């Protein structure tokens, strides 16, 4: 038992002697730091570009859905520009917290088509026209697509920066 304690103490002394002469060195840390800084600088710009691309695709998809689901009425020259299919827009809103893209339809009656409305004839409500939910359906279509696109964007930024 005494011999075992002596041997354990001897081993501990040897380990302490080795620890005094043991050194760590990291090679390539500066290169990793430069690659990381490059990725950090590139990511916000790439994220905004991806966000705008997704918004344009969302807008095109909503426009296509509106054109396929809505009954088209032949219009006069003055009112032709007010059709729902021609009034789509998008805008990048950048604040200190992050970027957002707004997609909208500026047709004055779009909210009625989207959400539904009462059917009025002769001043009396005779029924209800259900909404087409164009934006809602398109939003559900893009729920899985948007995270995938941003994951791919992050992978591309890391690859371009040399961090893959």
Query: What residue segments make up the domains of the chain, in order of their start?
Result: 26-105+145-161
| Contacts of 154 by beta carbon, 8 Å cutoff, 6+ apart | 43
pLDDT at 75 over 90: no
C-alpha–C-alpha distance, residues 164 and 159, integer Å: 5
**Confidence tier at 149 by pLDDT (50, 70, 90):** very high
The pLDDT of residue 124: 96
pLDDT in tens, 79-90: 554 577 788 999
pLDDT at 18 over 70: no
The pLDDT of residue 81: 47
**Confidence tier at 78 by pLDDT (50, 70, 90):** low
The pLDDT of residue 128: 95
Q: Is 19 helix (H, G, I), strand (E, B) or coil?
A: helix
Phi-psi region of 67 (alpha: psi -120 to 50; beta: other; left: phi over 0): alpha
The pLDDT of residue 15: 62
pLDDT at 118 over 90: yes
pLDDT in tens, 29-71: 778 788 888 888 888 889 899 999 999 999 999 999 988 888 7
- Strand (E) or helix (H) holding 130: strand 124-130
In whole numbers, what is the pLDDT of the chain averaged over residues?
Answer: 82
Long-range contact set of residues 43-50: C-beta below 8 Å, sequence gap at least 24: 43/154, 43/157, 46/153, 46/156, 46/157, 47/99, 47/150, 47/153, 48/92, 48/94, 48/99, 50/149, 50/150, 50/153
Percentage of the residues of the chain whose pLDDT score is greater than 70: 76
């Amino acid at each position: 038992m005494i011999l075992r304690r002596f041997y354990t103490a001897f081993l501990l002394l040897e380990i302490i002697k080795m620890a005094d002469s043991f050194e760590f060195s990291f090679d390539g840390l500066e290169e990793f730091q430069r690659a990381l800084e490059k990725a950090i600088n590139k990511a916000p710009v790439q994220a905004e570009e991806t966000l705008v691309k997704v918004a344009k695709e969302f807008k095109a998809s909503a426009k296509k859905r509106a054109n396929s689901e809505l009954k088209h009425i032949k219009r006069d020259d003055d009112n032709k520009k007010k059709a729902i299919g021609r009034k789509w827009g998008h805008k990048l809103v950048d604040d200190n917290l992050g970027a957002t893209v707004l997609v909208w339809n500026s047709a004055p009656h779009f909210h009625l088509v989207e959400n539904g409305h009462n059917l009025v004839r002769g001043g009396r409500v005779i029924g209800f026209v259900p909404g087409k939910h164009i934006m809602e359906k398109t939003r559900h279509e893009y729920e899985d697509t948007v995270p995938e696109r941003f994951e791919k964007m992050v992978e591309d930024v890391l690859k371009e920066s040399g961090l893959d």
